[in-house]
Protein backbone atom coordinates (compact mmCIF):
# COMPACT_ATOMS: atom_id res chain seq x y z
CA UNK A 1 0.00 0.00 0.00
CA UNK A 2 0.95 3.62 -0.43
CA UNK A 3 -0.91 6.64 0.90
CA UNK A 4 0.52 10.09 1.58
CA UNK A 5 -1.14 13.33 2.64
CA UNK A 6 0.54 16.63 1.86
CA UNK A 7 -0.78 19.74 3.59
CA UNK A 8 -0.09 22.10 0.70
CA UNK A 9 -0.74 20.75 -2.78
CA UNK A 10 0.76 23.92 -4.30
CA UNK A 11 4.13 23.21 -2.68
CA UNK A 12 4.22 19.65 -3.99
CA UNK A 13 3.37 21.04 -7.42
CA UNK A 14 6.78 22.74 -7.41
CA UNK A 15 8.51 19.39 -6.99
CA UNK A 16 6.62 17.94 -9.96
CA UNK A 17 7.30 21.09 -12.00
CA UNK A 18 11.03 20.85 -11.28
CA UNK A 19 11.15 17.26 -12.48
CA UNK A 20 8.89 17.75 -15.48
CA UNK A 21 11.06 20.56 -16.82
CA UNK A 22 13.80 18.01 -17.44
CA UNK A 23 12.17 14.58 -17.61
CA UNK A 24 9.26 12.98 -19.50
CA UNK A 25 8.59 10.26 -16.97
CA UNK A 26 9.77 9.29 -13.54
CA UNK A 27 9.72 6.33 -11.20
CA UNK A 28 8.95 7.21 -7.59
CA UNK A 29 10.44 4.56 -5.34
CA UNK A 30 8.35 4.55 -2.18
CA UNK A 31 8.98 2.66 1.03
CA UNK A 32 8.25 3.12 4.72
CA UNK A 33 10.93 5.85 4.98
CA UNK A 34 9.63 8.11 2.23
CA UNK A 35 9.78 8.73 -1.51
CA UNK A 36 12.80 8.97 -3.76
CA UNK A 37 13.39 9.28 -7.46
CA UNK A 38 16.52 9.60 -9.58
CA UNK A 39 16.60 10.06 -13.32
CA UNK A 40 18.65 11.51 -16.13
CA UNK A 41 17.08 13.55 -18.88
CA UNK A 42 16.89 11.82 -22.30
CA UNK A 43 20.16 13.42 -23.49
CA UNK A 44 22.03 12.44 -20.29
CA UNK A 45 23.11 16.03 -19.74
CA UNK A 46 21.16 16.51 -16.51
CA UNK A 47 20.24 14.40 -13.52
CA UNK A 48 17.36 14.99 -11.15
CA UNK A 49 17.24 13.48 -7.69
CA UNK A 50 14.24 13.87 -5.40
CA UNK A 51 14.12 12.76 -1.77
CA UNK A 52 11.02 13.31 0.33
CA UNK A 53 11.32 11.88 3.84
CA UNK A 54 8.09 10.70 5.43
CA UNK A 55 8.37 13.58 7.92
CA UNK A 56 7.54 15.98 5.08
CA UNK A 57 4.02 14.52 4.93
CA UNK A 58 1.07 15.14 7.17
CA UNK A 59 0.30 11.43 6.99
CA UNK A 60 2.42 8.75 5.39
CA UNK A 61 2.06 5.03 5.05
CA UNK A 62 3.84 2.87 2.47
CA UNK A 63 5.27 -0.52 1.62
CA UNK A 64 7.85 -0.90 -1.11
CA UNK A 65 6.54 0.11 -4.54
CA UNK A 66 7.83 1.55 -7.79
CA UNK A 67 5.35 4.13 -9.05
CA UNK A 68 6.10 5.15 -12.63
CA UNK A 69 4.21 8.14 -13.99
CA UNK A 70 4.13 10.39 -17.03
CA UNK A 71 5.28 13.76 -15.72
CA UNK A 72 3.43 15.87 -18.27
CA UNK A 73 0.14 14.29 -17.20
CA UNK A 74 1.03 14.61 -13.49
CA UNK A 75 2.02 18.24 -13.99
CA UNK A 76 -1.28 19.07 -15.73
CA UNK A 77 -3.19 17.53 -12.82
CA UNK A 78 -1.07 19.41 -10.25
CA UNK A 79 -1.78 22.63 -12.15
CA UNK A 80 -5.40 22.19 -11.07
CA UNK A 81 -4.52 22.45 -7.37
CA UNK A 82 -6.09 25.40 -5.55
CA UNK A 83 -4.23 27.53 -3.04
CA UNK A 84 -5.53 25.88 0.13
CA UNK A 85 -5.95 22.36 -1.19
CA UNK A 86 -4.55 19.39 0.64
CA UNK A 87 -3.11 16.68 -1.57
CA UNK A 88 -3.63 12.97 -1.08
CA UNK A 89 -1.64 10.51 -3.15
CA UNK A 90 -2.71 6.89 -3.00
CA UNK A 91 -1.80 3.85 -5.00
CA UNK A 92 -4.68 1.80 -6.39
CA UNK A 93 -2.97 -1.52 -7.01
CA UNK A 94 -6.08 -3.16 -8.46
CA UNK A 95 -6.64 -0.55 -11.13
CA UNK A 96 -2.93 0.21 -11.50
CA UNK A 97 -3.43 3.92 -10.97
CA UNK A 98 -2.07 6.63 -8.74
CA UNK A 99 -5.02 8.50 -7.25
CA UNK A 100 -4.31 12.21 -6.97
CA UNK A 101 -6.90 13.80 -4.70
CA UNK A 102 -7.31 17.50 -3.91
CA UNK A 103 -9.21 18.31 -0.73
CA UNK A 104 -10.42 21.86 -0.47
CA UNK A 105 -13.81 23.44 -1.13
CA UNK A 106 -14.64 20.10 -2.74
CA UNK A 107 -12.87 16.76 -3.01
CA UNK A 108 -11.55 16.31 -6.56
CA UNK A 109 -10.08 13.04 -7.68
CA UNK A 110 -7.86 12.13 -10.58
CA UNK A 111 -6.65 8.63 -11.37
CA UNK A 112 -3.25 8.81 -13.05
CA UNK A 113 -2.17 5.87 -15.22
CA UNK A 114 0.94 4.06 -14.07
CA UNK A 115 3.75 3.33 -16.47
CA UNK A 116 6.30 0.62 -16.35
CA UNK A 117 9.17 3.01 -15.75
CA UNK A 118 11.87 0.89 -14.23
CA UNK A 119 13.60 2.39 -11.24
CA UNK A 120 16.99 3.50 -12.44
CA UNK A 121 19.17 2.54 -9.47
CA UNK A 122 21.06 5.69 -10.34
CA UNK A 123 23.12 7.23 -7.61
CA UNK A 124 24.24 10.83 -7.62
CA UNK A 125 27.95 10.32 -8.32
CA UNK A 126 30.12 11.05 -5.35
CA UNK A 127 32.21 13.84 -6.84
CA UNK A 128 34.50 15.88 -4.61
CA UNK A 129 34.08 19.56 -5.20
CA UNK A 130 36.61 22.28 -4.34
CA UNK A 131 33.94 24.95 -3.84
CA UNK A 132 30.58 25.11 -2.12
CA UNK A 133 28.45 28.25 -2.34
CA UNK A 134 25.25 28.89 -0.43
CA UNK A 135 23.33 31.60 -2.21
CA UNK A 136 19.78 32.96 -2.24
CA UNK A 137 17.91 31.63 -5.26
CA UNK A 138 16.52 35.03 -6.29
CA UNK A 139 19.82 36.79 -7.02
CA UNK A 140 21.27 33.69 -8.68
CA UNK A 141 18.25 33.32 -10.99
CA UNK A 142 18.55 37.04 -11.77
CA UNK A 143 22.18 36.51 -12.77
CA UNK A 144 21.03 33.71 -15.10
CA UNK A 145 18.41 36.02 -16.59
CA UNK A 146 21.11 38.62 -17.24
CA UNK A 147 23.26 35.98 -18.93
CA UNK A 148 20.28 34.91 -21.04
CA UNK A 149 20.36 38.32 -22.74
CA UNK A 150 23.72 37.66 -24.34
CA UNK A 151 24.05 33.91 -24.96
CA UNK A 152 22.54 30.46 -24.47
CA UNK A 153 25.30 29.32 -22.15
CA UNK A 154 26.87 30.73 -19.01
CA UNK A 155 30.14 30.37 -17.13
CA UNK A 156 30.09 29.91 -13.37
CA UNK A 157 33.41 30.92 -11.83
CA UNK A 158 35.10 31.09 -8.48
CA UNK A 159 37.84 33.68 -8.71
CA UNK A 160 39.80 35.22 -5.86
CA UNK A 161 37.10 34.45 -3.32
CA UNK A 162 34.27 35.73 -5.49
CA UNK A 163 31.49 33.80 -7.19
CA UNK A 164 30.93 35.08 -10.72
CA UNK A 165 28.18 34.37 -13.26
CA UNK A 166 29.50 35.37 -16.66
CA UNK A 167 28.20 35.18 -20.21
CA UNK A 168 29.75 36.27 -23.46
CA UNK A 169 27.96 36.46 -26.78
CA UNK A 170 29.24 37.43 -30.21
CA UNK A 171 28.71 41.07 -29.36
CA UNK A 172 27.74 41.49 -25.74
CA UNK A 173 28.71 40.30 -22.30
CA UNK A 174 27.10 40.11 -18.88
CA UNK A 175 28.62 39.53 -15.48
CA UNK A 176 27.26 39.24 -11.94
CA UNK A 177 29.79 39.28 -9.13
CA UNK A 178 28.91 37.89 -5.71
CA UNK A 179 31.41 38.80 -3.01
CA UNK A 180 31.53 36.77 0.17
CA UNK A 181 29.97 39.56 2.24
CA UNK A 182 27.19 40.26 -0.27
CA UNK A 183 23.70 39.89 1.15
CA UNK A 184 22.93 37.26 -1.51
CA UNK A 185 25.58 34.92 -0.13
CA UNK A 186 24.89 32.80 2.93
CA UNK A 187 28.34 31.23 2.94
CA UNK A 188 31.19 30.36 0.60
CA UNK A 189 33.51 27.47 1.20
CA UNK A 190 36.23 28.15 -1.36
CA UNK A 191 39.05 25.69 -2.03
CA UNK A 192 40.46 26.94 -5.32
CA UNK A 193 39.64 29.04 -8.38
CA UNK A 194 37.33 27.13 -10.70
CA UNK A 195 35.39 27.65 -13.90
CA UNK A 196 32.79 25.61 -15.77
CA UNK A 197 30.37 26.52 -18.56
CA UNK A 198 26.79 25.31 -18.75
CA UNK A 199 23.72 25.38 -20.93
CA UNK A 200 21.57 28.19 -19.62
CA UNK A 201 18.18 26.66 -20.34
CA UNK A 202 18.99 23.64 -18.19
CA UNK A 203 20.17 25.86 -15.35
CA UNK A 204 16.99 27.92 -15.59
CA UNK A 205 14.88 24.76 -15.50
CA UNK A 206 16.80 23.39 -12.50
CA UNK A 207 16.22 26.52 -10.46
CA UNK A 208 12.57 27.10 -11.42
CA UNK A 209 11.08 25.34 -8.40
CA UNK A 210 13.01 27.55 -5.96
CA UNK A 211 11.36 30.62 -4.45
CA UNK A 212 13.57 33.69 -4.43
CA UNK A 213 14.33 33.42 -0.71
CA UNK A 214 15.15 29.69 -0.90
CA UNK A 215 18.81 28.84 -0.45
CA UNK A 216 20.68 27.05 -3.20
CA UNK A 217 23.76 25.00 -2.45
CA UNK A 218 26.00 25.17 -5.51
CA UNK A 219 28.99 22.86 -5.83
CA UNK A 220 31.46 24.00 -8.47
CA UNK A 221 34.72 22.72 -9.97
CA UNK A 222 36.57 23.17 -13.24
CA UNK A 223 35.00 21.44 -16.26
CA UNK A 224 32.95 19.37 -13.85
CA UNK A 225 29.19 18.92 -13.54
CA UNK A 226 27.65 21.59 -11.33
CA UNK A 227 25.58 20.25 -8.46
CA UNK A 228 22.67 22.36 -7.22
CA UNK A 229 20.68 21.38 -4.14
CA UNK A 230 17.70 22.96 -2.44
CA UNK A 231 14.65 22.10 -0.39
CA UNK A 232 11.06 22.61 -1.47
CA UNK A 233 8.16 21.63 0.78
CA UNK A 234 10.36 19.34 2.86
CA UNK A 235 11.63 17.61 -0.28
CA UNK A 236 15.33 17.67 -1.11
CA UNK A 237 15.98 18.36 -4.78
CA UNK A 238 19.43 17.72 -6.23
CA UNK A 239 20.37 18.49 -9.80
CA UNK A 240 23.53 17.68 -11.67
CA UNK A 241 24.36 19.32 -15.00
CA UNK A 242 27.23 18.29 -17.28
CA UNK A 243 29.49 21.11 -18.51
CA UNK A 244 30.32 22.32 -21.99
CA UNK A 245 34.01 22.21 -22.69
CA UNK A 246 36.24 23.81 -25.29
CA UNK A 247 37.56 21.13 -27.61
CA UNK B 1 34.57 24.88 -30.55
CA UNK B 2 32.53 24.06 -27.46
CA UNK B 3 31.17 20.60 -26.81
CA UNK B 4 28.39 19.61 -24.42
CA UNK B 5 29.50 16.67 -22.28
CA UNK B 6 27.07 14.07 -20.94
CA UNK B 7 27.00 12.91 -17.35
CA UNK B 8 27.97 9.38 -18.38
CA UNK B 9 31.61 10.50 -18.42
CA UNK B 10 31.35 11.24 -14.68
CA UNK B 11 29.64 7.97 -13.69
CA UNK B 12 32.69 5.83 -13.22
Contact A129, A190 (CB under 8 A): no
Distance from CA of B4 to the nearest CA of A (A): 4
Tens digit of pLDDT at every position of chain A (247 positions): 999 999 999 999 999 998 999 999 999 999 999 999 999 999 999 999 999 999 999 999 999 999 999 999 999 999 999 999 999 999 999 999 999 999 999 999 999 999 987 767 787 888 899 999 999 999 999 999 999 999 999 999 999 999 999 999 999 999 999 999 999 999 999 999 999 999 999 999 999 999 999 999 999 999 999 999 999 989 999 999 999 998 7
Q: Is B8–A247 a contact, with Cβ atoms under 8 angstroms apart? A: no
Q: Is A243–B5 a contact, with Cβ atoms under 8 angstroms apart? A: yes
The reported pLDDT for the residue numbered A196 is 98
Topology of domain A131-241 in CATH is Proliferating Cell Nuclear Antigen (3.70.10)
The CATH number of domain A2-38+51-113, selected from 3.30.1440.10, 3.70.10.10, 1.10.390.10, 3.40.50.300: 3.70.10.10
Chain B residues in contact with A247 by the CB 8 A cut-off are 1-3
Distances (CA, A) of A102 to A17, A111, A113, A116: 17, 12, 17, 25
What are A161-194's pLDDT values in tens digits?
Answer: 999 999 999 999 999 999 999 999 999 999 999 9
Q: Is A125–B11 a contact, with Cβ atoms under 8 angstroms apart? A: yes
Asked if domains A2-38+51-113 and A131-241 share a fold, the reply is: yes
3-state secondary structure of A53: strand
The reported pLDDT for the residue numbered A158 is 98
Domain assignments of chain A as residue spans, ordered by start? 2-38+51-113, 131-241
As for the ipTM of the complex, it is 0.95
Chain A residues in contact with B6 by the CB 8 A cut-off are 43-45, 242
Q: Which long-range contacts (CB under 8 A, 24 or more apart) does A31-36 make?
A: A31/A62, A31/A63, A31/A64, A31/A65, A32/A62, A32/A63, A32/A64, A34/A60, A35/A4, A35/A62
Q: Is A225–B11 a contact, with Cβ atoms under 8 angstroms apart? A: no
d(CA A97, CA A93) in angstroms, rounded, equals: 7
Amino acid sequence: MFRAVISEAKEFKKVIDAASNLLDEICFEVNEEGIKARAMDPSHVALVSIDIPKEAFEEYEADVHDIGVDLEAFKKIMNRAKAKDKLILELDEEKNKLNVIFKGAATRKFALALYDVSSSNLQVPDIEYPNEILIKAGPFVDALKDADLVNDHVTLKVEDGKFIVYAKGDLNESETIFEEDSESIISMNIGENAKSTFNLEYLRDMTKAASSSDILKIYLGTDMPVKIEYDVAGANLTFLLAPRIES
Amino acid sequence: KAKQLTLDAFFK
